[in-house]
Structure 1
Amino acid sequence: MTNSDTVTIPRAEYEAMQTRIEDLDDILAGHAARTGVTLPHDFAMRIINGDHPVRVWREYRALSAVALAEAAKVSKAYLSEIETGKKPGSVEAYKSLAAALAVPVDALLG
């Protein structure tokens, strides 16, 4: 791709994209205000698009599932069930995961 490459779309599509970007920025700002922590845009978008916050934060912190499970003192199988939505996870598990990830519990609740 060169600098002279362009894409032409109808104004209505462009304006719809601009509105969506502004809405997403508002969502990200609200999340940061609620939790006190921020994620890079691509990681935050994963949560917005439905990825489990625990998995996203784990991957953002560059931790393997085994490393996070050990740090949080939960089993790897239990962590996997939380990340895949098979189990909701206990309050104590979320507190331990949040401490291991250095985020408030709210950041893991999507």
Structure 2
Amino acid sequence: MTAIMTKSPAGEDIVILSRPEYDALVAASEDAADARAAGAVLSRIEAGTEALIADEDMDAYLAAATPLAFWRKKRGLTQAALASATGVGQGFLSEIESGKKTGDVATLKKIANALGLRIDDIVAENE
């Protein structure tokens, strides 16, 4: 790497790099950030706090009205059983599951906890 060390007009140290060297540093930084993010996901998987969807379940996940609908069925629960476990009314749970209502954070947390998931796992990305 050929870097030129100099000073700015204000006296700050600056480094001048060629474009390929700069691009390589940016790519290395992005790779390191990706590796940290992957490591964090792997840690959550090992700890059992990250929900995974098997290949054979992906079609059902994509076909479900909401992630909540998929996960409830995947966990083998009826709406009545999940409503009972969370204290959320079955009608309201049905509306959340169908995407007609979003539910507040406290309600979603109860539902996610009952399913052994994080709130992010049961909320559609576009909500």
Tell me which interval the TM-score lies in, with the shorter structure as reference length. 0.5 to 0.7
Question: More relative contact order in 1 or in 2 (CA 8 Å, sep 6+)?
Answer: 1
Q: Is the 8 A contact 2:82 2:114 kept in 1?
A: yes
* Separation of aligned partners in 2, 1:65 and 1:75: 9
Task: State TM-score, norm by structure 1.
Answer: 0.62
* Separation of aligned partners in 2, 1:108 and 1:86: 14
Larger C-alpha radius of gyration, 1 or 2? 2
**For each residue in 1:45-75, what CA deviation from the matched residue of structure 2 results, as whole angstroms up to 9, or x when unmatched?**
3333453111100000000010001111100
Specify which structure has the higher proportion of helix.
Answer: 1
Identity of aligned residues (%): 34
* Separation of aligned partners in 1, 2:117 and 2:57: 14
* 2:89 counterpart of 1:46: no
* Separation of aligned partners in 2, 1:82 and 1:39: 21
Specify which structure has the higher proportion of strand.
Answer: 2
Cα RMSD after superposing both structures: 2.2
Correspondence list, 1:11-50, <5 A: 33=41, 36-49=50-63
> What's 1:107 paired with?
121
Instruction: Classify the secondary structure of the residue corresponding to 2:88.
Output: coil
* Separation of aligned partners in 1, 2:64 and 2:74: 16
> What's 1:15 paired with?
none
* Separation of aligned partners in 1, 2:98 and 2:82: 15
> What's 2:94 paired with?
80
